[in-house]
Structure 1
Amino acid sequence: MSTKLLPIVVLISGRGSNFFAILEQVQAGKLPVDIRAVISNCSQAQGLHYAQQAGIKTHILDHRKYRQRQIFDRELIKIIDFYTPELVVLAGFMRILTAEFVQYYIGRLMNIHPSLLPEFPGLNTHQRALEAKVCEHGATVHFVTEEVDGGPIILQAKVPIYKHDTPEILADRVLEEEHKIYPQAILAFAKKEICLSKDGQVIRTTPSVK
Protein backbone atom coordinates (compact mmCIF):
# COMPACT_ATOMS: atom_id res chain seq x y z
CA MET A 1 0.00 0.00 0.00
CA SER A 2 1.25 3.47 -0.83
CA THR A 3 2.60 5.51 2.07
CA LYS A 4 0.88 8.66 0.78
CA LEU A 5 -2.16 9.40 2.88
CA LEU A 6 -5.33 10.91 1.48
CA PRO A 7 -6.27 13.99 3.52
CA ILE A 8 -9.94 13.98 4.48
CA VAL A 9 -12.35 15.98 6.61
CA VAL A 10 -15.37 14.25 8.14
CA LEU A 11 -18.74 15.93 8.81
CA ILE A 12 -21.08 14.49 11.45
CA SER A 13 -24.23 15.44 13.33
CA GLY A 14 -24.65 12.66 15.89
CA ARG A 15 -23.13 9.51 17.30
CA GLY A 16 -20.62 9.21 14.47
CA SER A 17 -20.65 5.42 14.19
CA ASN A 18 -19.58 5.52 10.54
CA PHE A 19 -16.80 7.94 11.41
CA PHE A 20 -15.67 5.55 14.14
CA ALA A 21 -15.67 2.65 11.68
CA ILE A 22 -13.47 4.70 9.37
CA LEU A 23 -11.20 5.66 12.26
CA GLU A 24 -10.76 2.03 13.30
CA GLN A 25 -9.63 1.12 9.79
CA VAL A 26 -7.16 4.01 9.82
CA GLN A 27 -5.77 3.03 13.20
CA ALA A 28 -5.43 -0.58 12.02
CA GLY A 29 -3.33 0.56 9.07
CA LYS A 30 -5.92 -0.64 6.57
CA LEU A 31 -7.07 2.74 5.28
CA PRO A 32 -4.41 5.17 3.98
CA VAL A 33 -6.07 8.42 4.96
CA ASP A 34 -5.21 11.33 7.19
CA ILE A 35 -8.32 12.46 9.08
CA ARG A 36 -7.41 16.10 9.50
CA ALA A 37 -10.60 17.28 11.19
CA VAL A 38 -14.09 16.30 12.27
CA ILE A 39 -16.74 19.00 12.05
CA SER A 40 -20.23 18.90 13.51
CA ASN A 41 -23.24 21.19 13.45
CA CYS A 42 -24.20 19.84 16.89
CA SER A 43 -22.13 20.40 20.04
CA GLN A 44 -23.52 17.20 21.60
CA ALA A 45 -22.45 14.93 18.76
CA GLN A 46 -20.87 11.86 20.31
CA GLY A 47 -18.56 11.45 17.35
CA LEU A 48 -16.66 14.55 18.46
CA HIS A 49 -15.48 12.64 21.53
CA TYR A 50 -14.17 9.79 19.38
CA ALA A 51 -12.18 12.31 17.36
CA GLN A 52 -10.81 14.13 20.40
CA GLN A 53 -9.73 10.87 22.02
CA ALA A 54 -7.85 10.05 18.81
CA GLY A 55 -6.14 13.44 18.78
CA ILE A 56 -8.07 14.70 15.75
CA LYS A 57 -9.00 18.36 15.48
CA THR A 58 -12.71 19.06 16.00
CA HIS A 59 -14.96 22.00 15.20
CA ILE A 60 -18.57 22.85 16.05
CA LEU A 61 -20.50 25.05 13.65
CA ASP A 62 -24.02 25.47 15.00
CA HIS A 63 -26.38 25.91 12.06
CA ARG A 64 -28.97 27.52 14.36
CA LYS A 65 -26.82 30.63 14.56
CA TYR A 66 -27.19 31.27 10.82
CA ARG A 67 -30.38 32.66 9.35
CA GLN A 68 -29.54 31.48 5.85
CA ARG A 69 -28.37 28.05 4.78
CA GLN A 70 -26.01 29.59 2.24
CA ILE A 71 -24.19 31.63 4.90
CA PHE A 72 -23.76 28.55 7.07
CA ASP A 73 -22.37 26.57 4.15
CA ARG A 74 -19.89 29.31 3.29
CA GLU A 75 -18.59 29.31 6.86
CA LEU A 76 -18.36 25.54 6.70
CA ILE A 77 -16.29 25.77 3.52
CA LYS A 78 -13.84 28.10 5.27
CA ILE A 79 -13.28 25.59 8.08
CA ILE A 80 -12.97 22.63 5.75
CA ASP A 81 -10.56 24.37 3.39
CA PHE A 82 -8.23 25.27 6.25
CA TYR A 83 -7.34 21.56 6.31
CA THR A 84 -6.96 21.24 2.50
CA PRO A 85 -8.71 17.86 2.20
CA GLU A 86 -8.88 15.92 -1.04
CA LEU A 87 -12.12 14.28 0.10
CA VAL A 88 -14.98 15.48 2.32
CA VAL A 89 -16.82 12.60 3.99
CA LEU A 90 -20.42 12.99 5.16
CA ALA A 91 -20.89 10.51 8.00
CA GLY A 92 -24.37 11.18 9.31
CA PHE A 93 -24.29 14.91 8.60
CA MET A 94 -27.97 15.80 8.82
CA ARG A 95 -27.97 18.93 6.70
CA ILE A 96 -29.21 19.53 3.17
CA LEU A 97 -26.28 21.22 1.46
CA THR A 98 -26.66 24.15 -0.90
CA ALA A 99 -25.89 23.83 -4.60
CA GLU A 100 -23.00 26.24 -4.08
CA PHE A 101 -21.41 23.94 -1.48
CA VAL A 102 -21.96 20.80 -3.53
CA GLN A 103 -20.50 22.31 -6.70
CA TYR A 104 -17.50 23.63 -4.80
CA TYR A 105 -16.59 20.08 -3.71
CA ILE A 106 -18.04 18.16 -6.64
CA GLY A 107 -16.19 14.89 -7.13
CA ARG A 108 -14.63 15.26 -3.68
CA LEU A 109 -17.80 14.87 -1.59
CA MET A 110 -19.01 11.43 -0.48
CA ASN A 111 -22.04 10.29 1.52
CA ILE A 112 -23.58 7.10 2.85
CA HIS A 113 -27.33 6.54 2.87
CA PRO A 114 -29.26 3.76 4.67
CA SER A 115 -31.14 2.34 1.71
CA LEU A 116 -30.53 0.81 -1.68
CA LEU A 117 -30.75 4.01 -3.67
CA PRO A 118 -32.61 5.11 -5.70
CA GLU A 119 -35.12 3.40 -3.40
CA PHE A 120 -36.10 5.31 -0.26
CA PRO A 121 -34.15 8.57 -0.42
CA GLY A 122 -34.60 10.90 2.54
CA LEU A 123 -35.50 9.96 6.09
CA ASN A 124 -37.13 7.00 7.89
CA THR A 125 -35.78 4.56 5.33
CA HIS A 126 -36.12 1.43 7.47
CA GLN A 127 -39.75 2.06 8.37
CA ARG A 128 -40.54 2.83 4.75
CA ALA A 129 -38.83 -0.34 3.55
CA LEU A 130 -40.91 -2.43 5.94
CA GLU A 131 -44.11 -0.68 4.94
CA ALA A 132 -43.30 -1.28 1.28
CA LYS A 133 -42.87 -5.01 2.05
CA VAL A 134 -39.67 -5.29 0.02
CA CYS A 135 -37.58 -8.40 0.55
CA GLU A 136 -34.21 -6.67 0.86
CA HIS A 137 -32.79 -3.40 2.06
CA GLY A 138 -29.29 -2.02 2.51
CA ALA A 139 -26.93 0.92 2.26
CA THR A 140 -25.40 3.01 -0.50
CA VAL A 141 -22.20 5.05 -0.73
CA HIS A 142 -22.44 7.73 -3.38
CA PHE A 143 -20.86 10.90 -4.64
CA VAL A 144 -22.90 13.92 -3.59
CA THR A 145 -24.65 16.01 -6.22
CA GLU A 146 -27.29 18.71 -6.01
CA GLU A 147 -30.09 16.13 -6.00
CA VAL A 148 -30.51 14.95 -2.41
CA ASP A 149 -29.51 11.26 -2.16
CA GLY A 150 -29.38 11.20 -5.94
CA GLY A 151 -25.66 11.19 -6.67
CA PRO A 152 -23.83 8.49 -8.65
CA ILE A 153 -23.57 5.23 -6.75
CA ILE A 154 -20.13 4.00 -5.73
CA LEU A 155 -20.93 0.93 -3.66
CA GLN A 156 -23.95 -0.84 -2.16
CA ALA A 157 -24.53 -3.59 0.38
CA LYS A 158 -27.75 -5.59 0.66
CA VAL A 159 -29.37 -7.20 3.67
CA PRO A 160 -32.44 -9.44 3.84
CA ILE A 161 -35.65 -8.33 5.49
CA TYR A 162 -37.26 -10.89 7.79
CA LYS A 163 -40.89 -11.32 8.76
CA HIS A 164 -40.56 -10.08 12.33
CA ASP A 165 -38.18 -7.20 11.68
CA THR A 166 -38.78 -3.84 13.31
CA PRO A 167 -37.25 -0.57 12.04
CA GLU A 168 -34.73 -0.77 14.88
CA ILE A 169 -33.68 -4.35 14.14
CA LEU A 170 -33.39 -3.60 10.44
CA ALA A 171 -31.41 -0.41 11.15
CA ASP A 172 -28.85 -2.39 13.15
CA ARG A 173 -28.47 -4.94 10.35
CA VAL A 174 -27.96 -2.19 7.76
CA LEU A 175 -25.54 -0.29 9.99
CA GLU A 176 -23.22 -3.30 10.16
CA GLU A 177 -22.94 -3.14 6.38
CA GLU A 178 -22.49 0.63 6.37
CA HIS A 179 -19.44 0.20 8.58
CA LYS A 180 -17.96 -2.17 6.01
CA ILE A 181 -18.65 -0.40 2.73
CA TYR A 182 -17.86 3.20 3.66
CA PRO A 183 -14.19 2.47 4.41
CA GLN A 184 -14.07 0.35 1.22
CA ALA A 185 -15.34 3.25 -0.88
CA ILE A 186 -12.92 5.70 0.72
CA LEU A 187 -10.06 3.24 0.13
CA ALA A 188 -10.99 3.01 -3.54
CA PHE A 189 -10.95 6.80 -3.80
CA ALA A 190 -7.61 6.99 -1.98
CA LYS A 191 -6.12 4.45 -4.40
CA LYS A 192 -7.57 6.40 -7.35
CA GLU A 193 -9.66 3.41 -8.37
CA ILE A 194 -12.78 5.58 -8.63
CA CYS A 195 -13.54 9.17 -9.56
CA LEU A 196 -16.45 11.26 -10.76
CA SER A 197 -16.47 12.16 -14.44
CA LYS A 198 -17.43 15.57 -15.80
CA ASP A 199 -20.74 14.15 -16.99
CA GLY A 200 -21.58 12.84 -13.52
CA GLN A 201 -20.66 9.17 -13.86
CA VAL A 202 -18.49 7.06 -11.59
CA ILE A 203 -15.33 6.06 -13.44
CA ARG A 204 -13.77 2.83 -12.18
CA THR A 205 -10.14 2.25 -13.10
CA THR A 206 -10.03 -1.24 -11.56
CA PRO A 207 -12.70 -3.88 -11.00
CA SER A 208 -12.18 -4.03 -7.21
CA VAL A 209 -15.18 -1.82 -6.40
CA LYS A 210 -18.35 -2.88 -8.16
Structure 2
Amino acid sequence: MTQQSKYLNTSNRVVVLFSGNGSNLQALLNQQVDYSYNIVGAISNRPDAYGLERLKNTDIPALVLDHKEFDSRESYDIELIRQIDNFNPGLVVLAGYMRILTVRATRHFQYRLINIHPSLLPYYKGLNTHRRILADRQKHHGTTVHFVTEALDSGAIILQASLTIELEDDEHSLRKRVQAMEHQIYPMAVDMLTSNRLQVSNQQLFLDTIPLGNRGYQIQEQYLINK
Protein backbone atom coordinates (compact mmCIF):
# COMPACT_ATOMS: atom_id res chain seq x y z
CA MET A 1 0.00 0.00 0.00
CA THR A 2 1.10 3.56 -0.65
CA GLN A 3 1.39 6.40 1.82
CA GLN A 4 -2.01 7.57 0.54
CA SER A 5 -3.72 4.55 2.05
CA LYS A 6 -6.06 5.07 4.96
CA TYR A 7 -8.31 3.12 7.28
CA LEU A 8 -11.93 3.45 6.28
CA ASN A 9 -13.34 3.84 9.77
CA THR A 10 -12.14 5.18 13.11
CA SER A 11 -15.30 4.70 15.16
CA ASN A 12 -17.45 1.72 16.12
CA ARG A 13 -20.60 3.87 16.23
CA VAL A 14 -23.19 2.64 13.71
CA VAL A 15 -26.51 4.07 12.50
CA VAL A 16 -28.90 1.72 10.68
CA LEU A 17 -31.44 2.88 8.06
CA PHE A 18 -34.41 0.64 7.23
CA SER A 19 -37.82 0.74 5.58
CA GLY A 20 -39.60 -2.49 6.38
CA ASN A 21 -39.41 -5.79 8.21
CA GLY A 22 -35.89 -5.24 9.49
CA SER A 23 -34.60 -8.82 9.45
CA ASN A 24 -31.05 -7.64 8.73
CA LEU A 25 -31.49 -5.03 11.46
CA GLN A 26 -32.39 -7.88 13.83
CA ALA A 27 -29.30 -9.83 12.79
CA LEU A 28 -27.14 -6.78 13.46
CA LEU A 29 -28.79 -6.32 16.87
CA ASN A 30 -28.38 -9.96 17.83
CA GLN A 31 -24.73 -10.16 16.89
CA GLN A 32 -23.32 -6.86 18.06
CA VAL A 33 -22.26 -8.53 21.32
CA ASP A 34 -19.96 -10.76 19.25
CA TYR A 35 -18.41 -7.96 17.22
CA SER A 36 -16.82 -4.55 17.64
CA TYR A 37 -19.67 -2.34 16.39
CA ASN A 38 -22.14 -0.41 18.53
CA ILE A 39 -25.53 0.54 17.08
CA VAL A 40 -26.22 4.03 18.43
CA GLY A 41 -29.29 4.92 16.39
CA ALA A 42 -31.75 3.74 13.77
CA ILE A 43 -33.88 5.67 11.28
CA SER A 44 -36.86 4.55 9.22
CA ASN A 45 -38.53 6.45 6.41
CA ARG A 46 -41.79 4.56 7.08
CA PRO A 47 -43.79 4.93 10.32
CA ASP A 48 -45.31 1.45 9.84
CA ALA A 49 -41.98 -0.37 9.41
CA TYR A 50 -41.89 -3.53 11.53
CA GLY A 51 -38.25 -2.86 12.27
CA LEU A 52 -39.46 -0.21 14.73
CA GLU A 53 -41.06 -2.98 16.79
CA ARG A 54 -37.72 -4.79 16.90
CA LEU A 55 -36.15 -1.74 18.52
CA LYS A 56 -38.73 -1.30 21.29
CA ASN A 57 -36.99 -3.72 23.63
CA THR A 58 -33.61 -2.06 23.17
CA ASP A 59 -32.12 1.19 24.42
CA ILE A 60 -31.29 2.26 20.86
CA PRO A 61 -32.93 5.55 19.81
CA ALA A 62 -35.29 4.99 16.86
CA LEU A 63 -36.34 7.89 14.66
CA VAL A 64 -39.09 8.02 12.03
CA LEU A 65 -38.36 10.43 9.21
CA ASP A 66 -41.37 10.00 6.94
CA HIS A 67 -40.43 10.74 3.33
CA LYS A 68 -44.06 11.64 2.56
CA GLU A 69 -43.67 14.77 4.67
CA PHE A 70 -41.03 16.23 2.34
CA ASP A 71 -41.61 17.84 -1.04
CA SER A 72 -38.48 16.46 -2.70
CA ARG A 73 -35.86 13.76 -2.39
CA GLU A 74 -33.22 16.45 -1.96
CA SER A 75 -34.97 18.14 0.97
CA TYR A 76 -35.52 14.77 2.60
CA ASP A 77 -31.87 13.79 2.36
CA ILE A 78 -30.73 17.14 3.74
CA GLU A 79 -32.71 16.41 6.90
CA LEU A 80 -31.65 12.75 6.88
CA ILE A 81 -27.98 13.76 6.80
CA ARG A 82 -28.56 16.16 9.70
CA GLN A 83 -30.27 13.50 11.80
CA ILE A 84 -27.60 10.89 11.06
CA ASP A 85 -24.80 13.33 11.91
CA ASN A 86 -26.45 13.99 15.28
CA PHE A 87 -25.50 10.41 16.21
CA ASN A 88 -21.88 11.03 15.18
CA PRO A 89 -21.51 7.60 13.54
CA GLY A 90 -18.43 6.12 11.95
CA LEU A 91 -20.61 3.99 9.69
CA VAL A 92 -24.12 4.13 8.20
CA VAL A 93 -25.67 0.75 7.35
CA LEU A 94 -28.59 0.33 4.95
CA ALA A 95 -30.69 -2.65 6.06
CA GLY A 96 -33.63 -2.92 3.71
CA TYR A 97 -33.71 0.83 3.14
CA MET A 98 -35.88 1.21 0.04
CA ARG A 99 -34.96 4.71 -1.06
CA ILE A 100 -32.27 5.71 -3.52
CA LEU A 101 -30.04 8.26 -1.83
CA THR A 102 -29.14 11.53 -3.51
CA VAL A 103 -25.63 12.41 -4.62
CA ARG A 104 -25.47 14.83 -1.68
CA ALA A 105 -25.95 11.94 0.76
CA THR A 106 -23.65 9.42 -0.92
CA ARG A 107 -20.84 11.95 -1.14
CA HIS A 108 -21.35 13.16 2.42
CA PHE A 109 -20.93 9.59 3.70
CA GLN A 110 -18.33 8.43 1.18
CA TYR A 111 -16.71 5.17 2.39
CA ARG A 112 -18.92 5.37 5.50
CA LEU A 113 -22.13 4.05 3.90
CA ILE A 114 -22.75 0.39 3.06
CA ASN A 115 -25.56 -1.74 1.67
CA ILE A 116 -26.32 -5.42 1.18
CA HIS A 117 -27.75 -6.56 -2.15
CA PRO A 118 -29.24 -9.99 -2.98
CA SER A 119 -27.07 -10.91 -5.95
CA LEU A 120 -23.44 -11.45 -6.83
CA LEU A 121 -22.69 -7.94 -8.02
CA PRO A 122 -21.92 -6.58 -10.54
CA TYR A 123 -24.54 -8.97 -11.93
CA TYR A 124 -28.28 -8.53 -11.35
CA LYS A 125 -28.42 -5.02 -9.98
CA GLY A 126 -31.82 -3.66 -8.99
CA LEU A 127 -34.99 -5.49 -7.92
CA ASN A 128 -36.41 -9.02 -8.19
CA THR A 129 -33.01 -10.68 -8.32
CA HIS A 130 -34.18 -14.17 -7.27
CA ARG A 131 -36.84 -14.26 -9.97
CA ARG A 132 -34.45 -13.02 -12.63
CA ILE A 133 -31.73 -15.49 -11.64
CA LEU A 134 -34.14 -18.41 -11.95
CA ALA A 135 -35.54 -17.15 -15.24
CA ASP A 136 -32.01 -17.03 -16.65
CA ARG A 137 -31.29 -20.56 -15.38
CA GLN A 138 -28.16 -19.47 -13.55
CA LYS A 139 -26.28 -22.03 -11.45
CA HIS A 140 -25.02 -19.68 -8.76
CA HIS A 141 -26.52 -16.88 -6.69
CA GLY A 142 -25.60 -14.96 -3.58
CA THR A 143 -25.42 -11.66 -1.77
CA THR A 144 -23.01 -8.72 -1.75
CA VAL A 145 -21.99 -6.11 0.83
CA HIS A 146 -20.75 -2.98 -0.91
CA PHE A 147 -20.09 0.69 -0.39
CA VAL A 148 -22.89 2.97 -1.57
CA THR A 149 -22.12 5.46 -4.32
CA GLU A 150 -24.23 7.65 -6.57
CA ALA A 151 -24.40 4.80 -9.11
CA LEU A 152 -26.95 2.17 -8.04
CA ASP A 153 -25.43 -1.07 -6.67
CA SER A 154 -22.04 -0.13 -8.10
CA GLY A 155 -19.81 0.77 -5.14
CA ALA A 156 -16.65 -1.13 -4.19
CA ILE A 157 -17.44 -4.66 -3.02
CA ILE A 158 -16.44 -5.60 0.52
CA LEU A 159 -17.74 -9.13 0.85
CA GLN A 160 -19.77 -11.71 -1.09
CA ALA A 161 -21.39 -14.99 -0.07
CA SER A 162 -22.39 -17.43 -2.80
CA LEU A 163 -24.49 -20.57 -3.12
CA THR A 164 -25.23 -23.21 -5.73
CA ILE A 165 -28.82 -23.19 -6.95
CA GLU A 166 -30.51 -26.57 -6.46
CA LEU A 167 -32.96 -28.10 -8.93
CA GLU A 168 -35.78 -27.83 -6.39
CA ASP A 169 -35.15 -24.15 -5.61
CA ASP A 170 -37.92 -21.69 -6.38
CA GLU A 171 -38.10 -17.97 -5.73
CA HIS A 172 -39.25 -18.48 -2.13
CA SER A 173 -36.57 -21.02 -1.18
CA LEU A 174 -33.85 -19.03 -2.90
CA ARG A 175 -34.84 -15.87 -1.05
CA LYS A 176 -34.75 -17.78 2.23
CA ARG A 177 -31.29 -19.22 1.56
CA VAL A 178 -29.88 -15.85 0.51
CA GLN A 179 -31.37 -14.08 3.54
CA ALA A 180 -29.82 -16.68 5.85
CA MET A 181 -26.42 -15.80 4.40
CA GLU A 182 -27.13 -12.08 4.66
CA HIS A 183 -27.89 -12.39 8.36
CA GLN A 184 -24.41 -13.80 8.90
CA ILE A 185 -22.23 -11.80 6.55
CA TYR A 186 -23.67 -8.33 7.19
CA PRO A 187 -22.59 -8.20 10.85
CA MET A 188 -19.26 -9.65 9.73
CA ALA A 189 -18.77 -6.92 7.13
CA VAL A 190 -19.78 -4.17 9.56
CA ASP A 191 -17.17 -5.50 11.98
CA MET A 192 -14.50 -5.40 9.28
CA LEU A 193 -15.02 -1.65 9.15
CA THR A 194 -15.56 -0.86 12.82
CA SER A 195 -12.51 -2.89 13.86
CA ASN A 196 -10.37 -0.95 11.37
CA ARG A 197 -9.49 -3.98 9.25
CA LEU A 198 -10.37 -2.33 5.94
CA GLN A 199 -8.16 0.18 4.18
CA VAL A 200 -8.35 1.95 0.83
CA SER A 201 -5.50 3.00 -1.42
CA ASN A 202 -6.07 4.44 -4.90
CA GLN A 203 -9.64 3.06 -4.79
CA GLN A 204 -8.33 -0.44 -4.01
CA LEU A 205 -9.65 -2.12 -0.84
CA PHE A 206 -7.37 -3.99 1.53
CA LEU A 207 -8.40 -6.36 4.32
CA ASP A 208 -5.72 -6.74 7.00
CA THR A 209 -3.28 -5.18 4.45
CA ILE A 210 -4.11 -7.91 1.89
CA PRO A 211 -5.63 -6.56 -1.35
CA LEU A 212 -9.21 -7.57 -2.09
CA GLY A 213 -10.14 -8.26 -5.68
CA ASN A 214 -13.02 -6.59 -7.49
CA ARG A 215 -15.42 -9.12 -5.95
CA GLY A 216 -14.30 -8.53 -2.34
CA TYR A 217 -13.82 -11.18 0.32
CA GLN A 218 -15.45 -14.43 -0.82
CA ILE A 219 -17.43 -16.90 1.31
CA GLN A 220 -19.43 -19.94 0.23
CA GLU A 221 -22.73 -20.95 1.82
CA GLN A 222 -21.43 -24.26 3.19
CA TYR A 223 -18.74 -22.46 5.21
CA LEU A 224 -21.21 -20.27 7.07
CA ILE A 225 -22.39 -21.48 10.46
CA ASN A 226 -26.16 -21.58 10.82
CA LYS A 227 -27.32 -19.44 13.74
Helix, strand or coil for the counterpart of 2:93?
Answer: strand
Task: Specify the code of the residue in structure 1 equivalent to 2:21.
Answer: R
TM-score scaled to structure 2, two decimals? 0.85
Q: 1:167 aligns with which of 154, 168, 171?
A: 171
Which of 119, 123, 131 pairs up with 1:119? Answer: 123
Aligned with 2:56: secondary structure?
Answer: helix
Paired position in structure 2 for 1:148: 152
Q: What is aligned with 1:200?
A: 203
1:105 and 2:120 equivalent? no
Tell me which amino acid in the other structure corresponds to 1:19. Answer: L
Cα deviation digits, residues 154-191 of structure 1 (max 9, x gap)? 00001121223221110000000001110111111111
Paired residues of 1:107 and 1:195 also in contact (CA < 8 A): no
8 Å contact from structure 1 (residues 9, 35) kept in 2:
yes
Matched length: 204
| Equivalent pair of 1:15/1:45 in contact (CA under 8 Å) | yes
In the alignment, which residue of structure 1 is the partner of 2:36? 32
Distance, in Å, in 2 between the alignment partners of 1:196 and 1:124 is 31
- Structure-1 residue corresponding to 2:26: 20
Between the aligned partners of 2:48 and 2:142, the Cα distance in structure 1 is: 28
CA distance in 2, matches of 1:127, 1:201: 32
Report if the CA contact (8 A) 2:21-2:50 is conserved.
yes
Q: Distance in 2 between matches of 1:128 and 1:76?
A: 32
Deviating 4+ runs (over 3 angstroms): 206-209
- For residues 103-134 of structure 1, give each alpha carbon's deviation from its aligned partner in whole angstroms, at most 9, with x where no partner exists: 00001001100000011110001000001110
Taking the aligned partners of 1:144 and 1:73, their CA distance within structure 2 comes to 15
Contact 1:14–1:92, Cα closer than 8 Å, also in 2:
yes
Comparing 29-38 with 106-115, which one deviates more in the overlay? 29-38
In the alignment, is the contact (CA less than 8 A) between 2:199 and 2:209 conserved in 1?
Answer: no
1:139 deviates by: 0.3
The corresponding residue for 1:132 is 136
Unaligned runs of 5+ in 2: 1-9, 218-227
The 3 A distance-change label for structure 1 pair 33 and 89 is same
State the superposition RMSD in angstroms.
Answer: 1.7
Q: Which runs of 5+ in 1 are unaligned?
A: none
Q: 1:110–1:141: 8 Å Cα contact kept in structure 2?
A: yes
Aligned-residue identity in percent: 43
Higher relative contact order (CA 8 A, sep 6+): 2
Matches of 2:155 and 2:100 in 1, distance apart? 13
TM-score (norm 1): 0.92
SS at match of 1:170: helix
The structural deviation recorded for 1:66 is 1.5
- The Cα of 1:206 is off from its aligned counterpart by 4.3
Give CA deviations for 1:52-104 in whole Å, capped at 9, x if unaligned: 21121001111112221111001101110110000000001000000110000
Structure 2 SS opposite 1:36:
strand
1:195 CA drift (Å): 3.5
- For residues 21-42 of structure 1, what are the alpha-carbon distances to aligned partners after superposition, in whole Å with 9 as ceiling and x for unaligned? 011111xx21122211110001
Task: Give the whole-Å Cα distance in 2 for the aligned partners of 1:138 and 1:150.
Answer: 16
